[in-house]
Amino acid sequence: MGGDGAGGKRYDRAYFDRWYRDPATRVAESGALARRASLALSAAEYLLERPVRRVLDVGCGEGAWRQALRRLRPRLRYTGVDASAYVVRRYGARRNIVRGSVGTLDAVALGGPFDLVVCSDVLHYVGDAELARGLPALAALVGGGVAYVELFTSADEVEGDLRGFHRRPPAFYRRAFARVGLEARGMNVYVTRAGR
């Protein structure tokens, strides 16, 4: 049975148990996601000058961002995309998660653009060819909205899952984002040229 990621990496229940639930190996403390969700929503609503109604979470895993975002905006409509067969089978229907990856965003019927596109802790695990295919589609899904993109570069100290990690320099991402029209606004927040 093949994996869900590059090089046969499996995003199964054991993976999520190890990196997200096990206190001995998880890398983020419990309140970190709530703070990041609050930051992403606040920044998006500030830039949009209205409440966020629709969110896309690319590489969503089990949909932890969904719960954190909906605590703050209960009526928010959330869509998640993840490559994990386990995630889609177990949580897809009840958390609105569909199967896909960064490289297949243009082939997944998502109905964008979205007010907020979240892509957290994903892009540094995506190969160059898939990233080149997926970034234009990601930018199109942002449209006139806001992206919250957390990633690690060769300039960062990284803990946790290093299998399949691409140690790219910060300039690599700046150039790649600029090519698709994503402009930084600070604190992991981006807008498209069309949406500024």
Residue 78: give its domain's CATH number: 3.40.50.150
Is the model's pLDDT at 41 over the cut of 80? yes
Q: How confident is the model at residue 186 (pLDDT cuts 50, 70, 90)?
A: very high
Contact call for residues 135 and 176 (beta carbons, < 8 A): yes
Domain tally for the chain? 1
- Which of 177, 187, 145 is CA-nearest to residue 39? 187
Residue 25 domain flag:
no
Contact call for residues 152 and 125 (beta carbons, < 8 A): no
Quote the pTM value.
Answer: 0.88
Q: How confident is the model at residue 1 (pLDDT cuts 50, 70, 90)?
A: very low
Range of 124's domain?
A: 31-192
Contact call for residues 87 and 79 (beta carbons, < 8 A): no
> CA separation (Å) from 81 to 4, 67, 92, 97, 195?
13, 15, 9, 5, 23
Mean local confidence (pLDDT), 2-17: 60
Mean local confidence (pLDDT), 115-133: 95
Cα separation of 148 and 189, whole Å?
Answer: 5
- pLDDT value at residue 84: 92
Is the model's pLDDT at 160 over the cut of 90? no
Is the model's pLDDT at 103 over the cut of 50? yes
**Strand bridging mode 97-99 / 189-192:** unpaired
- Which of 173, 186, 109, 187 is CA-nearest to residue 141? 109
Q: How confident is the model at residue 39 (pLDDT cuts 50, 70, 90)?
A: very high
Is the model's pLDDT at 22 over the cut of 80? no
Query: At residue 37, what is the residue type?
Result: A
Q: How confident is the model at residue 2 (pLDDT cuts 50, 70, 90)?
A: very low
- pLDDT value at residue 165: 77
Q: Give percent of the chain above pLDDT 90.
A: 72
Residue 10 domain flag:
no
- pLDDT value at residue 12: 59
> CA separation (Å) from 182 to 1, 16, 88, 89, 166?
37, 30, 29, 32, 21
